[in-house]
Structure formats: C-alpha cells, structure tokens
Amino acid sequence: MKSPCLLPCLLLLFAVVSCVYDFHPDWQGQAGFVAIEGDILVGDTCQFEVRFSTDLEDENNVGEPLTYTLRVEADDGTVYLLQDSIVDLTMASLTQEYRLVVEVQSPFRRTYASAWAPVLVSPPIDSLSYAINAERTALDINVSTHSDAPVGYYRWSASETWEYHSTYYAEYFFAPAGTVYRGRVIEQNSLVAYEEGDNVYYCWDSGNRSDILLGSTVELTEDRLVDHCLYSFSNTDRKVSVVYFVELSQIRLTEEAYRFWETVRNNSSNVGGLFSPEPSELRGNIVNVDDPDELVLGYVSVSTCTRKKIFVNNYDTRFSRWEGSSYNIVEPFPDIPDEWRKYYGWRYRFGWIEEKEGGSNTVWAPIECIDCRASGGTKERPWWWINNDK
C-alpha cells in the first residue's frame, strides 16, 4: 500500500534533536540455520543457493560450507536436475505444479522441499522508465505492467551497471622506479603521461540491487501498475552520474509469498523508528521433510519471468556530474616523490600540470579524486555500452 520511494519518515519531526549511533551487540548470535534461495522460473533457467546463516558479527557472511544436490520436480513426475549450477526449465510446462528438493550431504544429511505450487504467469513489463521529481533532487525508477488476470502480487529483481568518472582527469601519474607501463619499464621515479585512450577517469561497476522490490494490485480495480516506483536515487548518487543501466526481472507472487517478503523487508530495513513495526519471524514454504519444526529460511515461488532494460543517461537527466567527496586539498605540490610520501602518503596521486604565470605547478589530489578504480569500479567497459567513453 505504501510506495517504497516515499519514505514517510515520521521520525523527521525529531530529526533536529535525535541521533543514531552505532551499536555493537553483546549477545551471542546463532549460526547454522539453512537458507535456500531461488525461484522456480518456468520457461527460464534458474539458479539456487543453499547456505548457512552466520553469526551477527561474522564480517564476510560466509557460513560453514555445505554440500548438496538439488532438483526441481514437476507433479507429472518430471525431474529437472542441476547442471552447470543452473536448472534448465526452458521447456517446462506451464500447467504443472512444481517444487524444489534439496538434499544436503554434509555437514549433515537432510532433505528439504518447498511446497508444491502451480505456475503463476508474469505479464510483460509495459515500461521501465525514470522520473525526476519537481525539485530535481531525486530520480525514481518506475515500472508499469498490467494483465487481464485477477489482481495479485509482484516481485522484481534488478541487475544494475553504471558508468561513472573520477572528479578530476589525471593526465599524469606518478610511477615509482620499476613500474611497467605499456610494456615499458620506468627506471626511476617520475611523472608519466597517460597515452591516448588510457585513463583512470571512466569506470564501470555493476551489481544486483539488495532492496526487496514488491508490488501489489490487490487494492486496485484491475491488475495494473502504472509508474510504480521501485527505488530512488538522489541527484548526487554516483550511479546516475554518467550512464546507468538496469535490467529488471519480474515474477508474480502468491499472497503468502508476498507477506513473507514484506516481513523480510520490514525486518531488515524498516525497523527501529518510533512507529516502526516490531520485527517478527515468518516461516517460508520450505521444510525439512523429516523435521517440519526446523526453521528453514527462504521462500521458493513458481512463476514465469519477464524482463525489461533501460539506460538512464546523464545527457538526458542533466544532473550535474558527480563531484565525488569534497576533498579540499588539491593544491600545488612543492617537490616530487619523497616529499609526497612524507606528507601525503599513498593516498595521493599526481593529477595534472597547471599552467601559471611564470611557470607551471604540478597539482596533486587524493586518489579518490583522480582514480575511478579507487571507488570500486573497473575499466571493463561492457561491450553493449551505449556511449563512447573508454
């Protein structure tokens, strides 16, 4: 009922005096719940993951290793096995019921199965678009879809790729003795100019959105979502600073699945405020067939999947380009390398040479300002990218 893009932050009233602090728990967490992730996408290929939950303080989220086999079963007896880490259901029938069966071999032997469920059909995505609010402070990604089927529930997952650049374009870089550039060994510490096409200005990064994207038409007169807001960016977000790309996958959910995902969403992002709902645990539709009391994390939906892609180009949005973190320390640098090490450490790189009256200055900047790779991206440009940046 509530749009995720609207953050009705009642806490706002208290924002002037309220404060949020980091908190480190002093209780013992509990690892070792089995989580099974993945949906049965009929007419598609699907991927599943089985893993253990971890302690709260475990930083890398990698639980104890599990070995398992899994299969998707149709109620006519057809079995689809896992091959090359995918289950191929491209030829599966829409009229069957399906379930997922996971057999864990170690560290224990248990069999988990999801409840049998018929195939829900996801309608095509009518449009995937973006909208900028009137104040030009935010950019929303919106989806529209409709069907003749009765009203129902939707879930989306989004796979993003974005191009961005560093604040300043570095024409030179500092190469310590021994650096190899374009097959050439630099023999002593020196400033080296980037050659044509080489830069650490443009980068690409990608990932899957971690937000739980849900939609419902049950309160509407028909199964139609128009410009349903999925998520928002602030106009300073790096992801929309140059070119942003997203591929959206849409499936349909049952009411039970929707409630499950909504609870997961509330529990992980919508807690702690003055009027936030209390967190609560909700069991999914997967059970240990020999011990139904075991808490198994996850929900397996059976649906077809429809997809849509969109590019958002800064050329169109006309947001001011991302200016990065506001380091103020770009300044003429007195002497080269030793001094640089002495005063600024490894975080500074050479930027460009500034022409001034009576000579020129070498300008130095923090690495985040001149090397886009320092912000997590790479120089690997997708082959299908829409502009000519390199």
* Interface positions, 187-226, toward other proteins (CB under 8 A): 207-212, 217, 219-222, 224-226
* Interface positions, 226-265, toward other proteins (CB under 8 A): 226-229, 234, 259-260, 262-264
The residues near 13 (Cβ < 8 Å, ≥ 6 apart) are: none
What tokens appear for 390 in the block?
């390199």
Shortest Cβ distance from residue 301 to other proteins (Å)? 12
Q: Does 102 bind other proteins (CB under 8 A)?
A: no
Closest CA to 192 of 169, 170, 175, 168: 175
Shortest Cβ distance from residue 55 to other proteins (Å)? 7
Q: Which residues pair with 72 in a beta bridge?
A: 80, 100
Amino acid identity, position 278: E
Our CB check for other proteins shows the closer of 111 and 137 to be 137
- Which part of the chain contacts other proteins (CB under 8 A), choosing from 100-108, 189-197, 294-302, 382-390? 294-302
- Which part of the chain contacts other proteins (CB under 8 A), choosing from 270-278, 312-320, 330-338, 352-360? 270-278
* Interface positions, 11-50, toward other proteins (CB under 8 A): 12-25, 27, 29-33, 35, 37, 49
The answer to whether the beta carbons of residues 149 and 222 sit under 8 Å apart is no
- Which part of the chain contacts other proteins (CB under 8 A), choosing from 9-17, 82-90, 182-190, 329-337? 9-17
Q: Choose, by CB under 8 A, the member of 45, 55, 149, 186 that binds other proteins.
A: 55
Taking only Cα atoms into account, the Rg of the chain, rounded to an integer number of angstroms, comes to 26
What tokens appear for 277 in the block?
């709902």
Our CB check for other proteins shows the closer of 25 and 345 to be 25
Give the binding-site size for other proteins (rule: CB under 8 A): 90
Q: Choose, by CB under 8 A, the member of 66, 297, 305, 353 that binds other proteins.
A: 297
Question: DSSP assignment of 234-257, as one string?
Answer: ETT-GGGSSEEEEEEEEEEE-HHH
* Interface positions, 117-146, toward other proteins (CB under 8 A): 133, 135, 137-138
Which residue in this structure is represented by tokens 């992980």?
268
Q: Does 58 bind other proteins (CB under 8 A)?
A: yes
Query: What is the 8-class DSSP label of residue 319?
Result: P
Our CB check for other proteins shows the closer of 34 and 242 to be 34
Q: Choose, by CB under 8 A, the member of 114, 122, 145, 157 that binds other proteins.
A: 157
Amino acid identity, position 383: W
- Encoded one letter per residue, x for contact with other proteins by CB under 8 A and - for no contact, window 323-362 reads ----------------------------------------
Rounded CA-CA distance 342/191 in Å is: 17
Question: DSSP assignment of 105-152, as one string?
Answer: EESS-EEEEEPPEEPBPPPPEEEEEEEE-TTS-EEEEEEEEE-SSPS-
Shortest Cβ distance from residue 341 to other proteins (Å)? 32
**How many C-beta atoms lie closer than 10 Å to residue 148's C-beta?**
8
**Could you tell me whether strands 40-41 and 302-303 are parallel, antiparallel, or unpaired per DSSP bridges?**
parallel
Q: Does 1 bind other proteins (CB under 8 A)?
A: yes
Q: Choose, by CB under 8 A, the member of 107, 178, 272, 334 that binds other proteins.
A: 272
Using DSSP's 3-state secondary structure scheme, residue 283 falls into coil
Our CB check for other proteins shows the closer of 253 and 330 to be 253
**How many C-beta atoms lie closer than 10 Å to residue 137's C-beta?**
12
Our CB check for other proteins shows the closer of 293 and 355 to be 293
Shortest Cβ distance from residue 13 to other proteins (Å)? 6
**Could you tell me whether strands 34-37 and 296-297 are parallel, antiparallel, or unpaired per DSSP bridges?**
parallel
Query: What is the 8-class DSSP label of residue 265?
Result: H
Shortest Cβ distance from residue 290 to other proteins (Å)? 15
Q: Choose, by CB under 8 A, the member of 51, 239, 308, 349 that binds other proteins.
A: 51
